[in-house]
A = this chain, B = another copy of it.
Amino acid sequence: MRARVMSAARELGYEPDLIARSLRTGTSHTFGFLVADLANPISSEIIRGAEDRARVDGYGLLLTNSEGDPALDRANLHLFLQRRVDGIILFTAHEGERAIESQLRNLAVPIVVLDRTVPTGSDASTVFFDHAPGIAAAVAHLLERGHQRIAFISGPADLRPVRDRLSGFEEAFRVAKIVIDPGVIRLGSLLPKFGYEQTVALLGASDAPTAILVGGNRLLTGVLEALHERGRIVGSDIAIVSCDDVDLTRFYRPPISVVARDTYQMGRVAAEMLLDRATDREGTVGSVLLPTWFIPRESSAFPVRVGG
């Protein structure tokens, strides 16, 4: 009797309507993914990981890109809720946005926040990268080669990855028992323009650094542009270490040393955490810390000349 219905359904080309099913069951089998900077290759990798993992369990990904605009973040988050997504992955540009934080407190659905600190009391899950050790290893590597003045260019000081990288930077100096000249620390923005400006400023100073640690993958292009303009040769005139192992760092001549991380895995883990909470498998709010590691390459291999 059941078989007759099935065959009739096939004959008529019946397709279940997932929207009607969602209305009835209250589960949309969809996660919202809010990303602030889709142009960053890091973002696509995370999305790829999350989509791969979510798809296995039949979940789809609703993607929005806010281009770093907090108002858009807020609106998109609101839309996710109205669309009755079963979970949200948040990869915002800023931290401590009032409107977002209030959402994080009384949330109707599971949320995973990526590499951003969440306010105490919110029950959002988190996935962090452990930036400090990778950076510390990079700085130790530079110090070993005789660099004394190592500049650090990175984003706004209130952003968790920036704070984390800064603490790794400071830690390495502490271990080496060397005092940091605060003038070499340039925090402000993760955009290429900032990398360019700060590099120009650093090179122009009387006590120019012999090495630059670039704390953000998009900063690197700005830094390189400035170095090219001033005729500095990476890997002999100046040592460079960047963040994230992208095509540019791998295939630049000389290859550029980086602090690497597995962004695809971050996406997978985030989706996994949502699935654990969305389905029945005893999911709860949690936090995962993923490693970073230093990959030395030619851009920072040369020993610095003493006195130079």
**Chain A interface (Cβ within 8 Å of chain B)?**
15-20, 22-23, 28, 30, 33, 38-39, 41, 43-45, 47-48, 51-52, 55, 60-65, 67, 79, 81-84, 221, 224-225, 228, 246-248, 250-253
Please determine whether A221 and B47 come into contact, CB atoms closer than 8 angstroms: no
- Measured between beta carbons, the chain B residues less than 8 angstroms from A251 are 221, 224-225, 228, 248, 252
- Docked complex Cα distance between A18 and B61 (Å): 16
- Measured between beta carbons, the chain B residues less than 8 angstroms from A248 are 247-248, 251-252
- Measured between beta carbons, the chain B residues less than 8 angstroms from A15 are 81-82
- Measured between beta carbons, the chain B residues less than 8 angstroms from A67 are 52
B33, B41, B51, B228: which contacts A253 (Cβ < 8 A)?
B228
Sample of 8 more A-B contacts, CB < 8 Å, known A48-B65, A62-B62:
A18-B83, A18-B84, A38-B51, A39-B45, A41-B41, A52-B67, A221-B247, A248-B248
- Measured between beta carbons, the chain B residues less than 8 angstroms from A18 are 79, 82-84
B52, B55, B64: which contacts A55 (Cβ < 8 A)?
B64
- Docked complex Cα distance between A17 and B82 (Å): 6
- Docked complex Cα distance between A28 and B60 (Å): 14
Please determine whether A252 and B252 come into contact, CB atoms closer than 8 angstroms: yes
The 6 residue pairs across chains A and B that have the minimum distance between CB atoms: A63-B63, A44-B44, A18-B82, A247-B248, A38-B48, A18-B83
Please determine whether A39 and B44 come into contact, CB atoms closer than 8 angstroms: yes
- Measured between beta carbons, the chain B residues less than 8 angstroms from A64 are 51, 55, 60-61
B17, B45, B47, B221: which contacts A84 (Cβ < 8 A)?
B17
B22, B44, B60: which contacts A38 (Cβ < 8 A)?
B44
Shortest A94–chain B CB gap in Å is 19
- Measured between beta carbons, the chain B residues less than 8 angstroms from A82 are 15-18
Known: A23-B23, A247-B246. A60 touches B83 (CB 8 A): yes
- Docked complex Cα distance between A144 and B33 (Å): 49
Shortest A93–chain B CB gap in Å is 14
- Measured between beta carbons, the chain B residues less than 8 angstroms from A33 are 63
Nearest-CB residue, chain B, relative to A63? B63
Interface centre among A20, A38, A62, A83 (most CB of B within 10 A): A83
Shortest A218–chain B CB gap in Å is 9
- Docked complex Cα distance between A28 and B55 (Å): 20
- Measured between beta carbons, the chain B residues less than 8 angstroms from A225 are 251
Shortest A217–chain B CB gap in Å is 9
Interface centre among A18, A41, A79, A247 (most CB of B within 10 A): A247
